[in-house]
Structure 1
Amino acid sequence: MPRRSILSASERDTLLALPESQDDLIRYYTFNESDLSLIRQRRGDANRLGFAVQLCLLRFPDYALASDSVLPDPVIEWVARQVQAASESWVKYGERDLTRREHAQELRTDLGLLPFGLSDFRALVRELTDLAQQTDEGLLLAGQALESLRQQRRILPPLTVIDRACSEAVARANRRVYRALIEPLSQQHHHALFVLGLVIRCGVRNLVFAWHFDAVSEIAYVSELTHVSSFDIIVTNN
């Protein structure tokens, strides 16, 4: 069964939104002389514009141009003006997949960026699991994921991959909390929970515990479930 998406459509749009206002375009997508010198080495409007746009995206918000990427008109027009290319040539660049990939490889090398692979995904999930024990807010988890990858100078993967990593981290955090809370309990405690009709399922928050003691391990020292005066149990029925 596929994991549910942890990010809403609006949150995905917010996380990697491209600048569109004049102030933001100037701030993020203004080329210096070194940039322009590199861009001018491309022949033809389409190549110059496409190369320049890829340079912009790899710098902010740090992802690679995909074959199906749809970019706001203000971005294309602002970049085209700087590199003295016709903005209409952007459509032609989109038809050249091999050129796009060659430019991406060249820019990745020039900028010292690293690709995102399977081992990076696994490391990201491990990193996010600690945070997921404190919150399951998708926007917070995804924001931390993006910040971590940027610090490593990795090209950001599609947001669907970030979403999956966050979802996996939440599932692992739930299992970790489950084990910490449930495994120390005796058979008597498990039976008492069963009699009360509480549903405990690993990885699913059917049972929400709000505790007021210092350490989870204190559960192990409780002799009777009914004696836990500072342990509130909230049951969520399916």
Structure 2
Amino acid sequence: MPVEFLAAEQRSRYGCYAGEPSPEQLVLYFHLDDRDRALLEPRRHAHTRLGLALQLCTVRFLGTFLSDPTDVPHNVVLTLASQLNIADVTVLSRYREGEMRYDHVHEIMAEYGYQDFASQPEHFRFLRWLYTRAWWSEERLTVLFDLAMAHLIDRKVLLPGVSVLERAISSVREHASRRLWQLLAAIPTPPQRALLETLLEVPAGERQTPLDRLRRGPTRVSGPALVDALHRVEAIRLFEMEHLGLSFVPRGRLKALARHATTALFQHLRNLAHDRRIATLLAFTSTVISSSLLISCR
């Protein structure tokens, strides 16, 4: 499974402003409430109040602090300056050059409950959430990445480096997949596993594997299609797989494995690791029985 899976454009947008926030986002993330104002009002200088407000709203919106806290869209600066009654926004240059901005990061984290990505127990909770998501769904890695970002921001956990988050998602997804393959591969008996392996062998005198024939299912409801469906069911029933307990497996994950068996070349399937190969073939046979029985009952 790939460790780095984001496109270059996605990586460049991570943890920074990708254009100006919308009016709705400005209202949601850049409105200073009473708690925010209580933090800002004691500051004597305009550049301190505006810079601190920028850092506060930026971490609320992006889930991270910027190395240059003033590197924000102009409409963000104007929105906050208007709320703070600061007419001259050029004072921000003083904030960018000062050292107080580093102290403000720790102050915001302490006041609003932000935590570093590696801090416990939040890190463990994040990995547990990620594993549960990876176990129950077959979402693309990029989708899982976006969901992980939203989860971290919602939990007030500062986003790590983009590669750190990519590696965490890849590792957890791989772990969940391996566990699924191991559990599925352990269900059939040794004779059943041997029968499943024969799906990838070309019988003597023939040019196709049994898998090639079985995965060409009927595409329409008709008399001949019904006969074909019944033949497929009878062929699969020779493997005695229909009574195996697969209810613990998320249907989406099972269908994804079966779909892989349906589309991949049999040479590729044959080269899979043992547990993954057996799990894929078992998912395929289970799905074929279900779909063929559905057609035969119409």
TM range (shorter): 0.5 to 0.7
Alpha-carbon distance in structure 2 between the residues aligned to 1:14 and 1:39: 28
C-alpha displacement of 1:124: 2.4
Partner of 1:50: 51
Partner of 2:167: 164
In 2, are the aligned partners of 1:39 and 1:48 still within 8 Å (CA)?
yes
Which shifted more, 167-176 or 76-85?
76-85
Instruction: Name the amino acid aligned to 1:199.
Output: N
C-alpha displacement of 1:105: 1.1
Alpha-carbon distance in structure 2 between the residues aligned to 1:34 and 1:178: 50
Q: Is 1:72 the equivalent of 2:77? A: no
Aligned residues between the structures: 216
Partner of 1:94: 96
C-alpha displacement of 1:191: 6.0
Partner of 2:4: 4
Instruction: Name the amino acid aligned to 1:213.
Output: S
C-alpha displacement of 1:56: 0.9
Partner of 2:179: 176
Larger relative helix fraction = 2
C-alpha displacement of 1:170: 1.7
What is the CA deviation profile of residues 34-64 of structure 1, one whole-angstrom value per residue up to 9, with x for unaligned ones?
Answer: 4334313223333222100111123334x23
What is the CA deviation profile of residues 18-49 of structure 1, one whole-angstrom value per residue up to 9, with x for unaligned ones?
Answer: 76233431332121344334313223333222
In 2, are the aligned partners of 1:141 and 1:166 still within 8 Å (CA)?
yes
What is the CA deviation profile of residues 61-84 of structure 1, one whole-angstrom value per residue up to 9, with x for unaligned ones?
Answer: 4x2313156422211222223221
Q: Percent identity?
A: 25
Larger relative strand fraction = 1
Q: Which has the larger radius of gyration?
A: 2
| Matched position secondary structure for 1:88 | helix
The 1:204–1:94 alpha-carbon spacing in structure 2 relative to 1, beyond 3 Å, is farther
Give 5+ residue unaligned stretches, structure 2. 202-265, 292-298
- Output aligned runs, 1:189-200, within 5 Å: 192=198, 195=201, 197=267, 198-200=270-272
TM-score by length of 1: 0.68
What is the CA deviation profile of residues 69-114 of structure 1, one whole-angstrom value per residue up to 9, with x for unaligned ones?
Answer: 6422211222223221632233442333x42221111112221333
The 1:36–1:151 alpha-carbon spacing in structure 2 relative to 1, beyond 3 Å, is closer
Instruction: Name the amino acid aligned to 1:52.
Output: A
| Matched position secondary structure for 1:60 | helix
The 1:112–1:130 alpha-carbon spacing in structure 2 relative to 1, beyond 3 Å, is closer
Partner of 2:127: 125
Alignment equivalent of 2:157, drawn from 151, 154, 159: 154
Instruction: Name the amino acid aligned to 1:106.
Output: E
Alpha-carbon distance in structure 1 between the residues aligned to 2:197 and 2:119: 42
In 1, are the aligned partners of 2:181 and 2:276 still within 8 Å (CA)?
no
TM-score by length of 2: 0.56
Partner of 1:26: 27
- Output aligned runs, 1:33-44, within 5 Å: 33-44=34-45
* Root mean square deviation, CA, Å: 4.0
What is the CA deviation profile of residues 132-152 of structure 1, one whole-angstrom value per residue up to 9, with x for unaligned ones?
Answer: 232132343234424443454
Alpha-carbon distance in structure 2 between the residues aligned to 1:25 and 1:129: 33
What is the CA deviation profile of residues 168-197 of structure 1, one whole-angstrom value per residue up to 9, with x for unaligned ones?
Answer: 222112212221233445373586477564
Alpha-carbon distance in structure 1 between the residues aligned to 2:89 and 2:109: 24
Give 5+ residue unaligned stretches, structure 1. 215-227, 232-238
Alpha-carbon distance in structure 1 between the residues aligned to 2:37 and 2:65: 19
Alpha-carbon distance in structure 2 between the residues aligned to 1:130 and 1:208: 21
Which shifted more, 46-55 or 144-153?
144-153
